[in-house]
Amino acid sequence: MKICLFLGTLLVIMGSAAAAGTYTVNLVRKIIDTNKPTEDQKVTMSQNSNKRSLAEVDEDIDYDSEIINQRDMVYFGNLWFMEVEPVQRLQFIFDTGSSWLWAGSEECVDCPSTEKLVAEQFANCTGDKRLTYGSGELNGTICTTTVSTEGEAEKFVKNMRIVKVTSASLPNIVNTEWDGIVGLLPTATGGSQLLVEQMKQQGMIEKAVFSIRYLDSKYGSEITFGGFDDDIVPQLENFTFTELFDHNYWSVGLRGMRYGTTDLKIHAQRGILDTGSSLLVLPEPDYNSWFAAISEGRNCGDYGSYKGCYCDSYSDFEDIYITFGDYEYRIVSNQYVEEITSNDKNFCYFLVGKLGNFPIPTAILGDTFIRNYYIYHDMEEMRVGLYGEYMENVAPANKRWIYFGISGVVILVVIISFSLYYYTKDREDKAKLSKRYSAILENSQISKGPLNRSE
DSSP per position, 61-110: --TTS----TTSEEEEEEEEE-SSSSPEEEEEEEETT----EEEBTT-TT
Print the domain residue range for 116: 8-394
Amino acid at the residue 383 = R
Q: How far apart are the first and last CA of the chain?
A: 117
360, 377, 394: which is the final residue of a domain?
A: 394
pTM as predicted: 0.76
Q: Give the pLDDT of residue 57.
A: 25
Q: Are residues 311 and 417 in the same domain?
A: no
Q: CA-to-CA distance for 204 and 401, rounded, in angstroms?
A: 42
Q: Give the pLDDT of residue 397.
A: 58
Q: Residue 448: inside a domain, yes or no? A: no
Q: Give the pLDDT of residue 369.
A: 96
Q: Are residues 139 and 248 in the same domain?
A: yes
Contact (CB, 8 A) for 272 and 364 = yes
Q: Give the pLDDT of residue 153.
A: 73
Q: Give the pLDDT of residue 452.
A: 39
Q: Residue 73: inside a domain, yes or no? A: yes
Q: CA-to-CA distance for 149 and 25, rounded, in angstroms?
A: 8
CB atoms inside a 10 Å sphere around CB 392 = 12
Q: Residue 451: inside a domain, yes or no? A: no
Q: Give the pLDDT of residue 447.
A: 41
Q: Residue 452: inside a domain, yes or no? A: no
Q: Are residues 348 and 418 in the same domain?
A: no
We report the CATH number of the domain holding residue 371 as 2.40.70.10
Q: Residue 447: inside a domain, yes or no? A: no
Query: What pairs with residue 384 in β-bridges?
Result: 242, 377
Phi, psi of 339 (to 5 degrees): -110, 135
Q: Are residues 425 and 279 in the same domain?
A: no
**Residue 306: Cβ-neighbour burial (10 angstroms; 0-12, 13-18, 19+):** buried
Q: Residue 115: inside a domain, yes or no? A: yes
CB atoms inside a 10 Å sphere around CB 205 = 22
- Per the structure, the count of domains in the chain is 2
Q: Residue 1: inside a domain, yes or no? A: no
Q: Are residues 276 and 410 in the same domain?
A: no
Q: CA-to-CA distance for 195 and 250, rounded, in angstroms?
A: 16
Q: Residue 264: inside a domain, yes or no? A: yes
Q: Are residues 412 and 359 in the same domain?
A: no
- Which residue numbers in the chain have pLDDT < 50? 1, 3-20, 28-42, 44-72, 400-401, 403-404, 446-455
Q: Are residues 387 and 409 in the same domain?
A: no
Q: Give the pLDDT of residue 405.
A: 56
Amino acid at the residue 106 = E
Per DSSP bridges, beta strands 320-324 and 306-310 are unpaired
Q: Are residues 390 and 406 in the same domain?
A: no
